Structure 1
Amino acid sequence: MAEHTIKMPDVGEGVAEAELVEWHVKVGDPVREDMVLAAVMTDKATVEIPSPFEGEISWLGAEIGDVVAVGSPLIRIKTAGEGLKEESPKEVTPTPNPSPQGRGEPDSAPPKAEKASTDEAAAPVQSKAKTSAPPSPLWGGIKGGGSSLSSGAPRAEGEKPLASPAVRLRAKDAGIDLRQVAGSGPAGRISHEDLDAFLSAGRSTSAARGLARNTEVTEIKVVGLRRKIAEKMALAKRSIPHITYVEEIDVTALEELRAAMNAARKPDQPKLTMLPFLMRAMAKAIGEQPEINAIYDDEAGIIRQHGGIHIGIAAQTATGLVVPVARHVEARDIWDCGAEVNRLAEAAKSGTASRDELSGSTITITSLGAMGGIVTTPVINHPEVAIVGVNKMMMRPVWDGTQFIPRKMMNLSSSFDHRVIDGWDAARFIQRIKTLLEAPALIFVD
């Protein structure tokens, strides 16, 4: 047998290290050529590392969350042959997924091996089967169990107990945590007899009101996209003195216009949401205040005002917060903005957004949709100097001078880099957006 060492590959763009975010294999697993072994994350992309050859994993050189330098030993694979060799993956291709999550499971089924190596390849699989067998009950009184009492849970971590509604109700009333009860039924199903045995064994309960103490502490390592989000938010709050300005907007006329435009739209036109109107209003307001559409280079001490308006749209996905970018909004009409928002939202949701689509914004919109709250304090997307936050729309009574009338109202909560944007300029920018949204016909006037 020969043992090959695979090193952390050079992922390009001057990156000297990458964070290990996912193992697709473990020691003892058989692998084949081109099978994905691991995934690492840089500041810009997730990179999958394939196997250069067929063999068996003999050593893993890092844990999830570790930052590994380029060129460091990462994996060792035993193959047919002799000697110890150091190899780099024959091909490392950045994937478009902005996070380590959301990929399909690796194809871990090994190809049919030569007869001479059948026993060797099968050994780790058999070992895995033995260790994955369900644990035996840990306390006496249950069919097939021993006589000793243990304080540990009688099932694997995260395994949900099986029980009928009647058994669950009885356990709740008795203050019994079913995760601590071993079941004697099929697939570990818990019966009333199991509850009786649990109680007779002297296990503690909290019968009063069916409540039980939960002293469990779960440690979750911050890795991958969540670590990147944490680092960027910390950088923004540490280096940018935020000023947040909140203004309420009467969007009654805008909602009427939006409904009318959607009713009259052509088959190839997207259904308009609030965002395309806000994007166009921001583009017009930026035309009057170009200093808002800027990047502040902290190290160089330079403010770079951009002519092109590239609006980042903060989107929550199953794996975390990403910010796809709608480029050159100044050159897009309302329908084009709507189509681009839909396209970027789908790309973010499916994890297919490219690196170019996730970088290069000059100002950002953030919205929590129906959960937007009344007021928020958005964190600026460093190194930008402004972010516009959309709060939820609500029907409120508004005094028109003679009476209260129902109006659709929405707050904008926006933050600005106070090193670059003075409070007066921040207020003027939001007030201009307010004017455009409250009289939406002005959005279409050049």
Structure 2
Amino acid sequence: MGEHVIKLPDVGEGVAEAELVEWHVKVGDLVREDAVLAAVMTDKATVEIPSPVDGEVSWLGAEIGEVVAVGSPIVRITVAGEGGVAAGAAAEKPSARVVQATPTPSPSPQGGGGQQAISAATTEAHKADAADGTAQTGSPSPLWGGARGGGAARPATVSLPRPEGERPLASPAVRLRAREAGIDLRQVPGTGPAGRITHEDLDAFSVRGAAVPVAGLQQRTGVEEIKVVGLRRRIAEKMALARQHIAHITYVEEIDVTALEDLRAKLNAERRADRPKLTLLPFLMRAMVKAVSEQPQINALYDDEAGVIHRHAGAHIGIAAQTPAGLMVPVVRHAEARDLWDCAAEVNRLADAAKAGTATREELAGSTITITSLGAMGGVVTTPVINYPEVAIVGVNKIMVRPMWDGSQFVPRKMMNLSSSFDHRVIDGWDAAVFVQRLKTLLETPALIFVEG
């Protein structure tokens, strides 16, 4: 027997280190060549580390959340023979696969065309089959699974319910779904590689009725420890950076969007089939383009270390988007050169890409001012955190019908608050108010949005 050492490969673009965000195997697992061993995250990409050999995992060199330098040993695999047929060559030229160009947790490796890690439980199950006389003559080696009983594929590893303290293997999406459904993942048998719990496992567990809560009130004493890694850690770091560096001032103003909503409804009713449905965002984007052209200090980045403000001629508007993996900010570049429909189409495209995990690095960087919206959740006032190193962020709140005095009587109007934050180190309160009041004028009289000059 020999030992094959796998090092963290060069993941490209001058990256010297990466954060380990997920192990797909554990010590004792049997893996095939090209099976995914781990996932690491750089600033903008999640990268899978595949195995270059067949063998058994004998050592793991890092913990989840640990930052590993390129070239550092991360996995040792025991292989047949003297170090394996291609051990030397593979060690010198480690490979990696970029699975997402967005900072999202790496996906479950199941369905990878044979790329799977098989736990020792699988081997024991096959041994039991052989002892019972159920193994098929001429079938593939039981180590990797094969056909049995009429050609049906053998199911993947099924793990038993786990004892207290043992962390089950599951993707972030599966963990979120289980948490929302009140399912204890330790009680769910996993059929994925290395006993990983899949969405199908949750479905099967729920069908059996295991997720139905017990009648009556009961104390719950469990404490779940969730290590902050990957995208969640990057979000936390950026929010802390913004709060530590930026002196926030938040200005809230109510906007009468009755005329805007009427215009939006009319445009949507008469739109061509090749045009997207308009939301409030494209109108706000076009209003922001006009407002920042009059106040370029709002459309800027502040390098506080160098003491330099970079005012941008182009309006690159970030759109804060909630995705299954966490908060992302895809960027609509050169909004000043886009009409209403083009803005809407680009917002839709970027939102879909962010949620699907296919947005590119370029689509997630380079914003000069950001829009954030929690209006769909019903909030009426927020205090947005500025997207560092920008100097302003515009927050959209819920639209509500309220009685407003028109000078002679109360009339129903559609009202919405804008909650906007500014970097008070470089934006005076007066200038912040002028900017928001300009947005108010444009949104309350939407025809002005389309007037050039």
Report runs of 4+ in structure 1 exceeding 6 Å deviation. 119-122, 186-190
Cα distance, 1:88–1:372 mapped onto 2, change above 3 Å = farther
Cα distance, 1:187–1:134 mapped onto 2, change above 3 Å = farther
Q: Give the number of the structure whose alpha-carbon radius of gyration is greater.
A: 1
Whole-Å separation in 2 of the counterparts to 1:224 and 1:394: 38
Query: Which one-letter code corresponds to 2:45 in the other structure?
Result: A
1:346 paired residue among 352, 366, 381: 352
Kept after mapping to 1: 8 A contact 2:110/2:116: no
Which residue of structure 1 lines up, in the alignment, with residue 73 of structure 2? 73
Cα distance, 1:61–1:416 mapped onto 2, change above 3 Å = same
Q: Compute the displacement of 1:268 (Å).
A: 0.5
Whole-Å separation in 1 of the counterparts to 2:379 and 2:210: 44
Cα distance, 1:105–1:407 mapped onto 2, change above 3 Å = same
Q: Compute the displacement of 1:72 (Å).
A: 1.2
2:397 is the counterpart of 1:397 = no
Q: Which runs of 5+ in 2 are unaligned?
A: 119-137, 146-155, 164-182, 189-206
Which residue of structure 2 lines up, in the alignment, with residue 327 of structure 1? 333
Which residue of structure 2 lines up, in the alignment, with residue 278 of structure 1? 284
Cα distance, 1:118–1:104 mapped onto 2, change above 3 Å = closer
Q: Compute the displacement of 1:240 (Å).
A: 0.4
Which residue of structure 1 lines up, in the alignment, with residue 245 of structure 2? 239
Cα distance, 1:344–1:156 mapped onto 2, change above 3 Å = closer
Which residue of structure 1 lines up, in the alignment, with residue 187 of structure 2? 159
Kept after mapping to 2: 8 A contact 1:50/1:89: no
* Equivalent residue runs for 1:363-382 within 5 Å: 363-382=369-388
Deviations, residues 168-226 of structure 1 (Å, cap 9, x unaligned): xxxxxxxxxxxxxxxxxx97979xxxx9xxxxxxxxxxx9xx43222222111111111
Query: Which one-letter code corresponds to 2:226 in the other structure?
Result: I
Whole-Å separation in 2 of the counterparts to 1:300 and 1:103: 43
Query: Which one-letter code corresponds to 1:348 in the other structure?
Result: A
Deviations, residues 354-391 of structure 1 (Å, cap 9, x unaligned): 11111111110000132141110000000101000000
Whole-Å separation in 1 of the counterparts to 2:46 and 2:117: 25
Kept after mapping to 2: 8 A contact 1:8/1:88: no
Cα distance, 1:109–1:72 mapped onto 2, change above 3 Å = closer
Q: Compute the displacement of 1:48 (Å).
A: 1.5
1:215 paired residue among 201, 216, 221: 221
* Equivalent residue runs for 1:286-297 within 5 Å: 286-297=292-303
Cα distance, 1:316–1:156 mapped onto 2, change above 3 Å = closer
Kept after mapping to 1: 8 A contact 2:48/2:106: no
Kept after mapping to 2: 8 A contact 1:101/1:319: no
Whole-Å separation in 2 of the counterparts to 1:156 and 1:388: 40
Cα distance, 1:401–1:38 mapped onto 2, change above 3 Å = same
Q: Compute the displacement of 1:91 (Å).
A: 2.8
2:425 paired residue among 419, 427, 433: 419
Kept after mapping to 1: 8 A contact 2:109/2:116: no
Deviations, residues 290-347 of structure 1 (Å, cap 9, x unaligned): 1111111122111111111110000001111000000000000000000001101111
Kept after mapping to 2: 8 A contact 1:295/1:384: yes
Which residue of structure 2 lines up, in the alignment, with residue 9 of structure 1? 9
1:316 paired residue among 297, 318, 322: 322
Kept after mapping to 2: 8 A contact 1:19/1:42: yes
Which residue of structure 2 lines up, in the alignment, with residue 96 of structure 1? 101
Deviations, residues 131-183 of structure 1 (Å, cap 9, x unaligned): x34589xxxxxxxxxxxxxxxxxx975438xxxxxxxxxxxxxxxxxxxxxxx
2:361 paired residue among 355, 361, 371: 355
Which residue of structure 2 lines up, in the alignment, with residue 87 of structure 1? 91
Percent of counterpart pairs with the same letter?
Answer: 69
In structure 2, the residue corresponding to 1:342 is in which secondary structure?
helix
In structure 1, the residue corresponding to 2:268 is in which secondary structure?
helix
Kept after mapping to 1: 8 A contact 2:7/2:94: no
Whole-Å separation in 1 of the counterparts to 2:247 and 2:157: 56
Whole-Å separation in 2 of the counterparts to 1:216 and 1:398: 51
Query: Which one-letter code corresponds to 1:233 in the other structure?
Result: M
Q: TM-score, normalised by structure 2?
A: 0.77
Which residue of structure 2 lines up, in the alignment, with residue 406 of structure 1? 412
2:255 paired residue among 249, 257, 260: 249
2:78 is the counterpart of 1:50 = no
Query: Which one-letter code corresponds to 1:105 in the other structure?
Result: Q
In structure 2, the residue corresponding to 1:292 is in which secondary structure?
coil
Whole-Å separation in 2 of the counterparts to 1:223 and 1:260: 46
